[in-house]
Amino acid sequence: MNTAKTKTNKSIKLGIMGGTFDPIHNGHLLIANEAGWRLELDKVVFIPTGDPPHKQDQDITPAACRLDMVRLAIQDNPLFEASTIEIDREGLSYTAQTLEALHEEYEGQADLYFIIGVDAAADLLSWNEPDQVVTRSKLVVVDRPGYTLPLDKLQAGLPEIDLADRIILLHVPLVEIASREIRHRVAQGTSIRYLLPEEVSDYIKREEIYLPKGTSLNAD
């Protein structure tokens, strides 16, 4: 893991942006930046998943490539960092384990804010150790059109935890960008300009990621 440990007399406020990032795009960056300044976070750490349990039936771009794209995307924002904590850990990538590892890495001197879309938060009860996720961090739930957070259902499933004290609802400017749409556009030869940082777009072209098997941008 390359997250720098910070020695301080008080806890730092650490935002966590987890995801496959296949690829990272401007929507991810906007959400992280909004959460950072509105919640006065000291930093936001992007954590690409190593082996995502919810995508076992999908082809995932190698972790090294996804990490490269994250680093290129965040390099000009001093608020952002990248971590290899899930890529380095063997086995499936579970959020509860990652949060526990971060608590240990920061020796208990970090308040963790796990940034998540409302669609993913709605499925919290299906996660591995959901109770540990909400006790080890506060959930920063970002709204999306067409989705609502079933707070009553979640509270019923986690009766020992006061979720009203553990969840922060965050409204951000609407940017409807999906990684799967970017992958589809690349495969179809359609423009991805303005959907993600130019450095990431150049990387995708250079490494010929997301092209159909057996094709090449340099093919005659």
pLDDT in tens, 181-217: 999 999 999 999 999 999 999 999 999 999 987 565 5
User: Is position 208 within any domain?
Assistant: no
In angstroms, rounded to a whole number, what is the distance separating the alpha carbons of residues 135 and 37?
A: 23
User: Is position 57 within any domain?
Assistant: yes
User: Is position 151 within any domain?
Assistant: yes
Q: What is the CATH number of the domain that holds 79?
A: 3.40.50.620
Average pLDDT on 15-42 reads 97
Query: What is the band of 220 on the pLDDT scale with cuts at 50, 70, 90?
Result: very low
Chain position carrying tokens 């995508």:
55
Task: Identify the CA nearest to 114 among candidates 7, 220, 18.
Answer: 18
User: Is position 200 within any domain?
Assistant: no
User: Is position 72 within any domain?
Assistant: yes
pLDDT for position 35: 97
Residue 46 structural domain: 12-176
Task: Answer for the pair 113, 168: CB distance below 8 angstroms, yes or no.
Answer: yes
Asked whether the CA dihedral 143, 149, 154, 159 is positive or negative, the reply is positive
In angstroms, rounded to a whole number, what is the distance separating the alpha carbons of residues 121 and 167?
A: 10
User: Is position 29 within any domain?
Assistant: yes
Q: How many domains does the chain have?
A: 1
pLDDT for position 146: 84
Phi first, then psi, for residue 78 (nearest 5°) are -65, -15
Does pTM surpass 0.85?
yes
User: Is position 74 within any domain?
Assistant: yes
User: Is position 194 within any domain?
Assistant: no
Average pLDDT on 151-174 reads 95
Average pLDDT on 145-160 reads 94
